[in-house]
Chains A and B, each alone.
Chain A
Amino acid sequence: MNTTLKYYLQIADNALILSHRLAENTSKGPFLEEDLAGANVALDLIGLAEAVYTEAAKMENQGQTADDLVYRREEKEFLNCLLSEQPNRDFAHLVTRQFLLDAFNYSYFIALTESKDPFLSAIAFKSLKEVTYHLRRSSEWMIRLGTGTEESKHRIQIAINTLWKFTPELFEESDADKAMLANGCGVNLSDIQQQWDQKVNEILFLGHLDIPKNKFSVRGGKEGIHTEHLGHLLAEMQFLPGKYPDAVW
């Protein structure tokens, strides 16, 4: 697989899988307004994923479509980071996963607007408005839960502690990250990490929450080695096109 395609898939897979997780929570939110807001973020992310898959599908000139990339790839071909596939254990996990990824996406898309790849630059501009809102929303939830009640503080701290081990992977450079950075189309992940650290420190401070000390990294998503959760997610998501391969929906 060429590195440009792989780079595009990293972006699209992250957005798709996170969107899927958010969509799973529809009608299960703590109140109706939150259900609507969660669906909104899911819709923004699926829109981003679709745009990038559509462009990626054209690269190999084999008549592939965006849907082929979503519904007809194997688990090991998905290149999303492990954090985005983690399940909705409770609202605290959902919010923490969202915040950690929003903080990443915010800095990432700002940097990507400078890409020499005109499509990536354009999609970064378009997404930035949405991602800015996502980050504001999830940051407020982190502070709200951190400073709410004993129970909410306890739950959100557990979620941070549980998900923290999946965050170093966000900044590990894959072959595609290296190649795209070298040709001026990609993003320097070390810079993103500094900005991410700063944002996460700020919000956790405001939420009276602790940064976990353990730096151990559970990794593999960018190379197609996932947690057990992704297989189940894909089995469900790909069920109809898999069972009825000739059908057009």
Chain B
Amino acid sequence: MTTKPEPVQIAQLLAEFEEKINAEIKIEPSDWMPDAYRQHLIRQISQHAHSEVIGMQPEGNWISRAPSLRSKKILLAKIQDEGGHGLYLYSAAETLGVSREQYIEWLHQGKAKYASVFNYPALNWADIGAIGWLVDGAAIVNQVSLQRTSYGPYSRAMVRICKEESFHQRQGYEIMWRMMQGTKDQQMMAQDAIDRWWWPALMMFGPHDSDSPRTSNAMRWKIKRETNDVLREKFINKTVPQAELIGLKIPDPNLKKISDEHYAHGDINWEEFNQVINGNGPCNQERLEHHIRAHREGEWVREAAFHSDLRKQ
């Protein structure tokens, strides 16, 4: 039986915890941690896991229409990777004392969120390129930084995930490149895709630092290593030259080059961001309904697996 620590002990435990954080020593599941730290991780890692799993849907929308054997194989392998990332992350999140079933229930109840970018539709084949290049590209910028996060299981999951995400980003860019080398129709599809995905990708980094309520604690405890705005700038500086190289136009009339490798961007539509996060995006309902339906339809299978002769052996 565990006993609740006295306030004096808590102060001591907190000091030891912060000492570890300052010394860049990873916090492990069996270590004491402040409740707010645990709650922040529960929210962040599960949101990340849900994002990987819900993210399988917009790309899944094109598996049956992939236009070549090669592209079909790559897309299927990529979506499979995303599911695998979901598994690593659910496992990391479970070390915080909450089961995967509970996390899924919170998702279905609307108590847990996933990356809002997946509430946008994948409308043409170039969207598969744009998702890989821009959405995975934005995710990598964030995830590279999260490899140094202070919670051990999350950090280790990120190291594995980053290796695969960089492949995803390259395959997405390759699709865009091919389409820009192709027919007029293909070029129009590619431009249409970047027009629709550019701003949602920028929104993936979250609100400006001045409006981000959870950033300060997360930075102090080194859960988060760089702020939303810093990460967003890195992404823009990396991506704009890639777009220009293949002849795509960034859909931001106010984008300006301010030095060799730095750009200033136009205003982000935060009203749209808030609306989509709060359930009013084009696909919020479909994404959640799809997940709930698959989960419900699978219930009899999970029950059978639990009761079968094979499990009793």
Contacts and interface: CB of A to CB of B under 8 A. Distances in A.
Interface string B289-308: 01000100111111111111
B107 interface: no
B309 to A, nearest CB: 4
B29 interface: no
Nearest to A152: B304
A184 interface: no
A67 interface: yes
A216 interface: no
Nearest to B305: A144
B301 A145 contact: yes
A66 B71 CA distance: 13
Categorize the interface residue count of chain A.
35 or more
Contacts of B310: 140, 143-144, 147
Nearest to A241: B67
B76 A249 contact: no
Contacts of A47: 73
B305 A27 contact: no
A24 B60 CA distance: 8
Nearest to A155: B300
Given A26-B79, A27-B56, A143-B309, A240 B302 contact: no
Interface in A11-36: 20, 23-24, 26-36
A249 B63 contact: no
Contact of B87 (A36, A71, A152, A206): A36
A48 B308 CA distance: 33
Interface string B186-204: 1000000000000000000
A46 interface: yes
A27 B290 contact: yes
Contacts of A24: 63-64
- Interface of chain B, main secondary structure: helix
Contacts of B114: none
A31 B302 contact: yes
Which of B60, B64, B72, B302 has the most chain A CB within a 10 Å cutoff? B72
A240 B71 CA distance: 12
A27 B308 contact: no
Given A26-B63, A46-B69, A244-B186, A147 B309 contact: yes
A159 interface: no
Given A36-B83, A43-B77, A30 B65 contact: no
A147 B224 CA distance: 48
Contacts, number: 145
Contacts of A228: none
Contacts of B186: 244, 247
A77 to B, nearest CB: 17
Contact of B301 (A27, A152, A246): A152
A91 interface: yes
Nearest to B54: A27
Contacts of A140: 310
A42 B76 contact: yes
A84 to B, nearest CB: 15
A43 B77 CA distance: 7
B69 A30 contact: no
A237 B66 CA distance: 7
Nearest to B49: A32
A39 B65 contact: no
A133 interface: no
A39 B83 CA distance: 10
B51 to A, nearest CB: 13
Contact of B68 (A34, A71, A90): A71
B301 A30 contact: yes
A219 B178 CA distance: 42
B195 to A, nearest CB: 20
Interface string B97-120: 000000000000000000000000
A249 B73 contact: no
A49 interface: yes
Interface string A196-211: 0000000000100000
Given A26-B79, A39-B83, A145-B304, 8 more contacts: A27-B290, A33-B87, A67-B69, A143-B308, A144-B304, A147-B310, A236-B64, A248-B182
17 contacts: A20-B64, A23-B72, A24-B63, A27-B83, A28-B294, A29-B294, A32-B83, A39-B79, A46-B76, A71-B68, A91-B301, A143-B308, A148-B303, A236-B65, A237-B65, A248-B178, A249-B71
